[in-house]
Amino acid sequence: MKRKIIEIDEERCTGCGQCVPDCPEGALQVLDGKARLVSDLFCDGLGACLGTCPEGAIAVIEREAEPYNEKTVMANIVRQGEAVVRAHLEHLAGHGEMGLYDQAIEYLHENGLSVPAHRAGPVSSAAPTVACPSAGCPGAAARMIEPRPHGGGEREGERPESELRQWPVQLKLLNPAAPYFDDADLLIAADCVPFAYAGFHQEFLRGRIVIIFCPKLDSEIDGYVEKLAEILTRHTIRSITVAHMEVPCCTGTRYVVDRALERSGKTIPVTEKTISIRGEVL
């Protein structure tokens, strides 16, 4: 996959090692007198090491690289002690990488480790310090939901099963690297559609990974285009179904999808569904 990752100019690098302590992920080591990126897996591409290189030998580039793995990084980081864990959490939160931040917090919880007090936002004296993961809701941690076996159709009076197969669903909270996007059929829906259309789960959601947002009320449309483009770039997506309401402002859902496709350079079949306010497919 193509992603952001650091590159070291060997001619400029003097091997001083000043970059190494600022990479809590453990991606950098000084070997044979030069700083080396020892594993693509450990480099998140956020560039914490950039400012400490006196020779300007480090840059962030975009190239084919092994996907960054937060859980693997955390296994390495916790061995280095609380101060390194704190630095790593502040590093992720300070760059707005809340999906990775939540994965790091989840790792600590899963392994019975305490969450050290840390700044929960951009690093500054005004940033709040927290002793718990309040900066990133644990409920935003990426997870798969195993389907229950269908009994061959719903009988009269029987409550239909949920067809949701992943969490979270809001585009703002989604981690573009989440594995449930691999080889997925996407359902990209405006927020109001599930409330208006009674057959949403059975007819639209079944067998698909869902992404929802509001093109009128959400203020991060450019950011949504960028995040969706990253999802499309990182993964093989088989198809996209776009579902929006009939009101004019809701067509912005398709706008975001089209711009993300352009940015990703991918050609993916798109099916569009328009829902009336009375809950009918137009």
63: CB partners within 8 A, 6+ apart: 2, 3, 5, 7
Radius of gyration of the chain (CA): 22
pLDDT for the residue numbered 53? 86
Confidence grade of residue 127 (pLDDT, cut at 50, 70, 90): very low
- Distance between CA atoms of residues 190 and 12, nearest Å: 50
Specify which of 9-13, 26-30, 117-121, 176-180 reaches the highest per-range mean pLDDT.
9-13
Judged against a pLDDT cut of 60, whether residue 268 lies above it is answered with yes
For each of the domains in the chain, give its residue range(s) and CATH number, in order of start: 2-64 (3.30.70.20), 70-140 (no CATH), 163-275 (3.40.50)
Instruction: Name which of 185, 231, 241 is nearest 209 in CA terms.
Output: 185
Phi, psi values for residue 30, rounded to 5° = -95, 115
Whether pTM exceeds 0.85: no
| pLDDT of 88 over the 80 cut | yes
Q: Write the CB contacts of 263 (distance below 8 Å, at least 6 apart in sequence).
A: 225, 226, 229
Query: Hunting for tokens 């979270």 — which residue is that?
Result: 168
CB distance 270 to 257 below 8 Å? yes
In this predicted model, what pLDDT tens digit does every residue of 49-83 receive, in sequence order? 877 788 889 988 998 888 888 888 898 888 878 88
